[in-house]
Amino acid sequence: MRPAAQVRARIASGALALFLTLIMASCGNDETGDQVQATSPPDFTWPTGPHPRALFHVENRGVILLELYPELAPETVDNFIELARSGFYDGTTFHRVLPGFMIQGGDPNSRDRDPSNDGDGGPGYTVPDEFSPAPHRRGTVSMANTGRPNSAGSQFFIVQGDALHLDGRHTVFGRVAAGIEVADGIATTETDLHGRWGKPNRPLEDIVIKRIEILGPKEAPAHSAPAELNFKPSPSQIGPEPPQLFPGFA
Catalytic residue numbers? 96, 101, 104, 145, 157, 166, 170
Locate all alpha helices (DSSP H) within 39-91, ordered by sequence: 74-85
The residue among 119, 115, 125 whose CA lies nearest residue 106 is 119
- Spatial distance between the Cα atoms of 85 and 69, rounded to a whole number of angstroms: 17
Q: From the centroid of its chain, how far is CA 234?
A: 18
Give the list of residues 6+ apart from residue 167 with CB closer than 8 angstroms, or none: 135, 136
100-135 core/surface letters (b: 16 or more CB in 10 A; e: else): bbbbbbbbbbbbeeebebbbbbbbeebbbbbebebb
- Spatial distance between the Cα atoms of 71 and 46, rounded to a whole number of angstroms: 10
DSSP for 177-194 reads EE-HHHHHHHHTS-EETT
Kindly tell me the number of DSSP H helices and DSSP E strands found in the chain: 3, 12
Q: Is-contact 246 101, C-beta < 8 A? A: yes
